[in-house]
Amino acid sequence: MAENLRHRFNNAAAQQQNNNNINIVLLGKTGVGKSSSGNTILGENRFPCGRSLSAVTHESSVERAVIEGRSVSVIDTPGFFSTNLSQEQLSREFARSVFLSSPGVHVFLFIVPFGRFTEQEEEILTRVQKVFGKDVLKHVILLFT
């Protein structure tokens, strides 16, 4: 499965030249504002979000909008280290987020609370790198909330 995901990711950049779409996958721990960030990008409230001690997002979902003539797909994901999902379920949802971004991911938007880049955030980047290879970091943007 990792090889298939890596292939989809590597082909996305090439297809971007012929396509006016952009696919953004939101990454981060539970409660850091992934859904809110997605809503901000889309310009309206599409993803459910709220202040809670437990996760609001339980499965990956995609919302789309046309922004300045460009089709933008934002894929919201459950939080890494979620207390509601097992590691296996999180891995499955991470893989699903890539398939929701067909033909592939253009940007991984990694949401981190300002001033709180911890070992868990490093572990998230390591997991993403294991799946997509070291070049994936060229496509990761940090968003501090």
Q: What is the pLDDT of residue 14?
A: 47
Q: Which residues of the chain have pLDDT under 50?
A: 13-14, 16-18
Q: What is the pLDDT of residue 10?
A: 54
Q: What is the pLDDT of residue 53?
A: 54
48 Cβ partners below 8 Å, 6+ apart?
Answer: 35, 56, 57
Q: In the structure encoding, which two tokens stand for residue 94, read together? A: 């991470």
| Structural domains of the chain in order of their starting residue, each with its CATH number | 2-144 (3.40.50.300)
pLDDT digits (tens, 9 = 90+) for 20-53: 899 999 999 888 999 999 999 999 999 988 766 5
Closest CA to 23 of 66, 75, 69: 75
